[in-house]
Amino acid sequence: MTAIAAARRTARRTTMISGLSLALGVCLWQLMASGISDLILPPPTDVLARLMDPAFFARLSRALGQSLVPLALGFAISLGVAVPLGIAIGRSKSLSRMFEPVITAIYAIPPIAFVPFLVVWFGLFFPARVALVVLMTVFDVLQVIIAGARDVRPGLLDVGRSFGASPVARTRLIVLPALSPFLFAGLRVGFARAVNGTITAELFFAAVNLGAIMKRATENFDTAGVLLVVLLVCLLGLLGQAIITLLETRLLHWHVRS
Amino acid sequence: MRRAMLPLIGVFLFLLVWQLAGRSLGAAILAPPSIVAFDYLELLRQGDMLRELALSLRQMAIGYLAACVIGMPLGVVMGRSRVADGVFHPWVAMFVVTSTAAQIPLLILFLGTGLWLRITVAFLSTVFYVVLTTYNGARGIAPNQLAVGRSFGAGRLQIFWKIMIPAIYPYLLTAARIGLVHAIRAMVTAELFVIVGYGGLIHQSGLSIETGPLLGLILTLMIVSLLGDLILRGVGRWVAPWYEQQRLVSS
Amino acid sequence: MIANPAGPNRDAPKLEVQGISKAYGRDGNALTVLDNISLVVPELEFLALLGPSGCGKSTLLRIIDGIDTPDAGRVVLDGKDVTGTTGNGRGMVFQSFELFAWRTVLSNVAFGLEVAGMGKAKRLQTARQYIDMVGLSAFQNAFPHQLSGGMQQRVGIARALAINPSILLMDEPYGALDVQTRDLLQDELLNIWEKQRKTVIFVTHSIEEALYLADRIVVISPRPGRIQQDIVVPFARPRSAEIKSDPVFLELRREIWQMLKRGVKV
């Protein structure tokens, strides 16, 4: 069997094991749930039933749709700030040395601690949610981009200079393409953090959309409902990562991953 | 000389901008460093901040240590065994992608709002990052290094302790550092949600009109994070002085 | 012994290196890499810069290319001072190939033309010619990671040649390759050079390579980098591999080896 075919077979086997593991987990859940009160641990069947409830499903979908707006906006703003800034800092040794300590210090603060601050600045509604998404996303993406911009092999830039390319041309033709794997890593991290920021905002500011559903369900001891929202958030995160990775495989077919 | 000055210039610029902004916007919106400094001394004098901090950190530490003790071996096992990888990876992936805040209401339903909630939140938010970082390290061990062990007749246990563990050592240290970041974040998130402990202090400070004390509390969090990281790196160097820190991009 | 009739035009200096010095480090810890190097390279000469590792020959080449700047001295190309500037008809081949992983072979070779502003159709057409010259037409749509080291360096050479440089600078281009590939590429280089004569400056630490390829060898001794010797290579062109076992060749090789040993003092 060729090496590629063997690798594919092991990958398939691993996927099967993963599937089995998930299935086993659900079965275990079902078993445990039958022994415990439904208020604390509803069985998967209950959760499924809740999902099938058309009213609840409608509310859930609408909430999800509305949650996506601050998510997308905050994510876009973060990228718009972090990518150029990250490239500038990563490529310039002096800028890097100047701002590294400040960035490290701010990065050491849990963004959630700024929530009361954001209330003062942005209120309790849409602007505050976008702001929290940006706050939670921008630093992680910045870190990745800085690392990537630093990592561009000097030899490649020598080639650019040797052929007489201007700094702008060098950034466009060399730095950006060399950076692109890191860009996608940044997109993945950023998206997860953006989802994080959105749901956190919906729970800590004025509860709306998914956060509101979660809060109401918690108050009503509707564990199945809460669980559904959690699963939805989880799914959203996984889907985003899958899409970004798919995009990366398509666009960066030259990239050899170790 | 100029090189050493640059970081100082950066910090100075930052403080300057902050001061100017704070003065023009007023302490109700953004207290400038000059006011924060005074408020900070007051916070120290009052004692609430440090007391709550100590209590909160103690609880966080339990969750954090549990996460390291469980997460590191799990990560190694997953990294070296494809079966283990298959079994655990979907769960790890699912949890890593679900934010702490989203987990909290559910955990409150399971565990109430007491001690166990906060320890569990810290644990769950930390352990999967520890697992992933260790996993990447364990997977990346150069096969030739293990081959050396075998060619000298080393047994499996010997290879494990003498080659594998030292080989993934930088990842273990990074896992501990990344884990700490997430543990602190989880601690603050949970406490802000339930309004208790240090997070509770932050919430209450947020209700008042002065942003100075609030910034002071945030400043303390920053110091704790930086100190914790420094200590971990120091411990790392002390345990394995031959090892250079590997710069890993956090997953 | 027999001077090459169609050899370098010694009346027309293509390149002049005047008093180039470069040091790294500061004040007391300064390491002088190049110490007042002066050199004249006539048109169409194939010059080898030979020396042990760390003697500054690569640094000198990079200064000639303009991607590094000297602390003192000038680089004059075709009568123009080009110190510290790049382009201007200089093409460089790098030891570590330095191909762009995200570009196909074709796109890599066209890079220099793209930077110079040539239109897409024209530059791809030109690039194809040079890819053909190095024998990689079948691979023009491949990515660098799909190629062997030798093939990647061929791409690097094609890339430098594609801009039709007036002087070709090669920085130990075969240093990262195995001996067989190196021998092969040496012969290919000579082939190409016979068809399209250019002024070449070739950095190497291999005496055999320098003797085989060059018209003239400038030996550089290390720390600080200085010109130790200037040797005219007496073999007629076109050269073939048998020359490497010619007794004159072997004798010269031995002499230069002795010279290098003397120059390398701790």
Same structural domain, A22 and A105: no
With an 8 Å Cβ cutoff, the interface of chain C facing chain A consists of 62, 65-67, 86-88, 90-92, 94, 96, 98, 100-103, 111-112, 114-116, 143-145, 163
* Maximum average pLDDT range among B157-161, B229-233, C12-16: B229-233
Strands C226-232 and C90-93, sheet pairing:
unpaired
* In a shared domain, residues A128 and A171: yes
Q: What DSSP line would sit under A65-99, residue for residue?
A: HHHHHHHHHHHHHHHHHHHHHHHHHHH-HHHHHHH
A148 vs A38: which has the higher pLDDT: A148
Residues A115 and A7 reside in one and the same domain = no
**Length reported for chain B:** 251
Arithmetic mean of pLDDT, C64-73: 90
The residue-averaged pLDDT of B54-60 equals 93
Residue B29 lies in a domain: no
Is residue A236 over pLDDT 90?
yes
Nearest-CB residue to A218 (from B93, B105, B221)? B105
DSSP string, B93-155: HHHHHS-HHHHHHHHHHHHTTSHHHHHHHHHHHHHHHHHHHHHHHHHT--HHHHHHHHHTT--
Please tell me which residue of chain C has the smallest CA distance to A181.
Answer: C102
Closest Cα in chain A to C141: A254
The answer to whether A9 contacts chain C (CB < 8 Å) is no
What CA–CA distance (Å, rounded) separates C210 from B96? 59
CATH number at residue A118: 1.10.3720.10
Please check whether residues A133 and A15 belong to one and the same domain.
no
The reply to whether A194 and A171 lie within a common domain is yes
Inter-chain contact A223–B225, Cβ cutoff 8 Å?
A: no
Average pLDDT over residues B174-195: 93
Tally of structural domains, chain B: 1
CB B196 within 8 A of CB B113: yes
Q: Which of C62, C100, C143 minimises the CB distance to A156?
A: C100
- Tell me the residue range of the domain where B130 lies: 47-242
Place of tokens 């309790």: A124
Question: In this model, does residue B250 exceed pLDDT 50?
Answer: no
Residue C197 placed within a domain: no
Most confidently predicted of A50-54, B127-131, B204-208, C228-232: B127-131
* Digit-coded pLDDT (tens) for A163-208: 989 988 998 999 989 999 899 989 999 999 999 999 999 999 988 8
Inside any domain, residue C73 = yes
Q: Which residues of A touch C67 (CB under 8 A)?
A: 158, 161-162
Taking the mean position of all CA atoms in its chain, how far away is CA A221? Answer: 29
Shared domain check, A25 and A145: no
Count of A-C CB contacts under 8 Å: 65
Shared-domain flag, residues A133 and A210: yes
A109, A214, A237 member nearest B221 (Cβ): A109
Rounded mean pLDDT of C177-197?
Answer: 91
Where do we find the tokens 């320098």? C210
Chain C residue closest in CA terms to A167: C115
d(CA A231, CA A225): 10
User: Per-residue pLDDT averaged across A51-67, rounded?
Assistant: 89
SS3 C230: strand
Q: Is A181 on the interface with C (CB under 8 A)?
A: no
Residues A187, A206 within the same domain: yes
The DSSP letter of residue A112 is: G
| A188 to chain B: closest CA residue | B251
Q: How many domains does chain C have?
A: 1
Q: Give the whole-angstrom CA distance, residue B78 versus residue B89.
A: 8
* Residue A2 structural domain: 1-35
Q: Do chains C and B touch (3 or more CB pairs under 8 A)?
A: no
Asked whether residue C247 is domain-assigned, the answer is: yes
Residues A14 and A116 in one domain: no
Q: Which residues partner with C231 through β-bridges?
A: C217
CA distance C167 to chain A (A): 12
Q: How far is C87 from chain A (nearest CA, A)?
A: 4
The two tokens of residue A21 are 């593991």
B42 located within any domain: no
Report yes or no on C190 lying in a domain. no
- C225 lies in a domain? yes
Of B94, B102, B250, the CB nearest to A199: B102
Q: Which residue of B has its CA nearest to A225?
A: B106
Q: CB–CB of C94 and A159 under 8 A?
A: yes
Distance from CA of A174 to the nearest CA of C (A): 8
Reduced to 3 states (helix: H, G, I; strand: E, B; else coil), residue B75 is helix
pLDDT at C6: 54
Chain B residue numbers touching A101 (CB-CB < 8 A): 7, 10-11
Residues A209 and A132 in one domain: yes
Interchain contact A156–C (C-beta under 8 A): yes
Residues of A with CB below 8 A from C163's CB? 163
State the Cα–Cα distance between residues C172 and C193, nearest whole angstrom. Answer: 17
Task: Provide the mean pLDDT of chain A.
Answer: 88
pLDDT of B218 reads 93
- Tell which wins on pLDDT, B163 or B242: B163
Residue environment code for A2-21, b if the CB has 16+ CB neighbours within 10 A, otherwise e = eeeeeeeeeeeebeebbeeb
Q: Which residues contact C37 (CB under 8 A, 6 or more apart)?
A: C17, C19, C20, C21, C60, C73, C220, C225, C226, C227
Domain count, chain A: 2
| Cα of B156 to nearest chain A Cα, Å | 23
Domain annotation covers residue A26: yes
B18 falls within a domain: no
The H or E element spanning position C9 is: strand C9-24
- CATH of residue C13's domain is 3.40.50
Return d(Cα C145, Cα B41) in angstroms, integer.
60
| C2 pLDDT more than 60 | no
One domain for residues A177 and A85: yes
pLDDT band at B242 (very low <50, low <70, confident <90, very high): low
Q: Does A173 touch chain C (CB under 8 A)?
A: yes
- Closest chain A residue to the Cα of B99, Cα to Cα: A196
Which amino acid appears at position C36 of this protein? Answer: N
- Please tell me what DSSP assigns to residue C206: -
Answer yes or no: is pLDDT of B246 > 80.
no
pLDDT score recorded for residue C263: 67
Contact C90 A159 (CB under 8 A): no
* pTM for the predicted model, two decimal places: 0.80
Residue C98 distance to chain A (closest CA, Å) = 6
Please determine, for residue A258, whether its predicted confidence score (pLDDT) is greater than 70.
no
A26 and A85 housed in the same domain: no
Q: Look up the CATH number of the domain holding residue B124.
A: 1.10.3720.10
Terminal CA-to-CA distance of chain A, rounded, Å? 22
Which residue range(s) make up the domain with C80?
1-87+217-266
